[in-house]
Structure 1
Amino acid sequence: MGSEPLPVLEFEFMLPRGLVDAEGKMHRQGVMRLATARDEIWVQRDRRTQSDPAYGVLVMLARVITRLGELTTVTPELLEDLFSLDLAYLRELYNRINQQGEATIPVQCPRCSSHFQVELALSGES
């Protein structure tokens, strides 16, 4: 009796500002998957992380973001161009889905400034 692989949980997101690529295209919608132990090891072995531990967040995000707008390949170098607000958003999303096990994030209504929680949609769920 063979074991079946576990499904990869993915979370859709929308960046507050968006990433502008080299061609001037804006990318806001994306998908992030859960991190694995292999991802953690990869980040620790990365030479950029070893010389600058703060760079590790970009290496990790590049590994777990499976899609960003029309981009299917996300690199740490590409993520260097994120706006600070978007980087903070992605860090919070990563922490919530990987460390806290919650699929909700705090948001603020752009019209009335009310604060509330939004449940993140899991890709593939109906």
Structure 2
Amino acid sequence: MAFQTEYSFELPKGYIDESGNLHKKGVMRLATAADEILPMRDPRVQQNPGYLTVILLARVIVKLGDLRAVDTKTIEKLFTADLAYLQDLYGRINQMENPSYPAVCPQCGCKHEVPIDFLIEE
């Protein structure tokens, strides 16, 4: 099984370009460390931390409809529903999977994986 680095998506509303064409289908790639770190130096992020999302999405969306490229201006013009959708997708595909360990139920003897969540306080 190959490691998946790109994920197809379809925007709920869609991006309308300058010619009035609607673009809904796209592809987002996994983020790299540089995608997360380099935008922090951008003056737009330093002035407005909320702009980080715009830059991140512009870096990781590799295709949107028939557009030649996706840049920050494209992301700025998205409908809020589409921006929220892409933020959620970014979070889901880049989230680290929680480790798990094999366990056996003491009552029925069934084998299963038990997730370990280090963020839960007890």
What letter corresponds to residue 32 of structure 1 in structure 2? M
Q: CA deviation at 1:100?
A: 4.6
Distance, in Å, in 2 between the alignment partners of 1:57 and 1:33 is 15
TM-score of the pair, normalised by structure 2: 0.74
Report % sequence identity. Answer: 51
The partner residue of 2:20 within 18, 21, 24 is 24
SS of residue in 2 equivalent to 1:24 = coil
Q: Say what the alpha-carbon RMSD is for the aligned residues.
A: 1.7
Distance, in Å, in 1 between the alignment partners of 2:82 and 2:96 is 20
Identify which of structures 1 and 2 has the higher relative contact order when contacts are C-alpha pairs closer than 8 Å and 6+ apart: 1
**1:90 alignment counterpart:** 86
Q: CA deviation at 1:72?
A: 3.3
What letter corresponds to residue 22 of structure 1 in structure 2? E
**1:34 alignment counterpart:** 30
Stretches of structure 1 lacking an aligned partner (at least 5 in a row): 1-6, 102-126
Answer yes or no: is 1:15 the counterpart of 2:16.
no
Q: Which has the larger radius of gyration?
A: 2
Distance, in Å, in 2 between the alignment partners of 1:58 and 1:13 is 17
- Decide whether the 8 Å contact of 1:66 with 1:72 is kept in 2: no
Distance, in Å, in 2 between the alignment partners of 1:72 and 1:93 is 22
Superimposed CA distance per residue, residues 8-37 of structure 1 (whole angstroms, 9 cap, x where no aligned partner): 700000000000011111110000000000
